[in-house]
Structure 1
Amino acid sequence: MAQDILADLSTLNVNTPIVDIEGIRTIIPHRYEMEQLNGILKFDMEQGIIVGYKDISNNEFWVRGHIPGRPLMPGVIMLEAAAQLCTYYYKQATKDDRFLGFGGIDKVKFRGKVIPGDRLILIAKNKELRSRRAIFDTQGVVDGKLVFEGVIIGMVV
């Protein structure tokens, strides 16, 4: 995957989601500590792009124990947030009610840190969309800098 950011974030109003947490909850079943999306900023099926975000607070379940005194968002949680964004895309694009779970991840690279107080912008670009599988290039961005990238494969469970 290239290091270029997949979406032009300067064209988005990052303070006004097109889908809020309540709208996300109608599509994504995760709750409580496992809710990793706060809003959707862009959903464009023609371009195959979806952009969402997660606001990182001091109340995240991992803050206390994932490096006490220097909390860092675990990479697996970043990937979970991206996977939830991919699931939102898949379910809206296909109108399929089945659960889309992890089928695999590939080419993952972590390039920066995510800490409490950050807004993690999540971007997914659809590469393949089938009835039982979806593949996305994904990225996480904080303050305009790429913090992770990877390919997420979703499989209908």
Structure 2
Amino acid sequence: MTTTEPAPSSSASHTLLFDVSGIDLGSPIADRREIERFNPHRHEMALLDEVLWISDDCSCAVGRHRCRADAFWVRGHFPGKPLMPGVLQVEAGAQLACFLWNKQQPAPRVAAFLRIEQAAFRRSVTPGEDLLILCQE
């Protein structure tokens, strides 16, 4: 497995939300089973595979989606050169936000995006790679 990294850029719009250099990305704090205690997503649409870190004040988190060769979209997006659809990358981010929000609630609730602004895709994600997801309140 490889981890997607942002392409080098001098543009401030392509920087990460926060510094992840001090975060142990190899030791998940929540696996799929723990995530399902807080998130309603199941089966093919459970895109958040692990939570790797949550800040002490629960305002930031890092998660991971493992992009698998047998994912439902691989065969058709695009034949011979599969690329994870951007909308699914956004959904994976939404699921991390849902997990982070529900961790702060008395009981888990369904959360939904009403609007998305300034989404940026740093590069394509292909089967066999990990998509790191950063969330900041």
TM-score normalised to structure 1 length: 0.75
CA RMSD of aligned residues (A): 1.6
Pairwise mapping of residues 7-156 of structure 1 onto structure 2 (< 5 A)?
7-46=18-57, 48-126=59-137
Higher strand share: 1
Structure 2 residue matching 1:9: 3-state secondary structure: coil
Check the 8 A contact 2:69/2:128 in 1, yes or no. yes
1:45 Cα offset (Å): 4.6
> Structure 1, unaligned stretches of length 5 or more?
127-157
Check the 8 A contact 2:58/2:104 in 1, yes or no. no
Check the 8 A contact 1:45/1:93 in 2, yes or no. no
Give the distance between the partners of 2:112 and 2:81, measured in 1 at CA: 31
TM-score normalised to structure 2 length: 0.85
Higher relative contact order (CA 8 A, sep 6+): 2
Cα 1:90–1:45 change in 2 (3 A) is farther
Check the 8 A contact 1:6/1:125 in 2, yes or no. yes
1:36 Cα offset (Å): 0.4
1:14 Cα offset (Å): 1.9
Check the 8 A contact 1:64/1:71 in 2, yes or no. yes
Structure 2 residue matching 1:6: 3-state secondary structure: coil
> What corresponds to 2:3 in structure 1?
none
1:90 Cα offset (Å): 0.7
Paired positions, count: 126
Give the distance between the partners of 2:58 and 2:109, measured in 1 at CA: 24
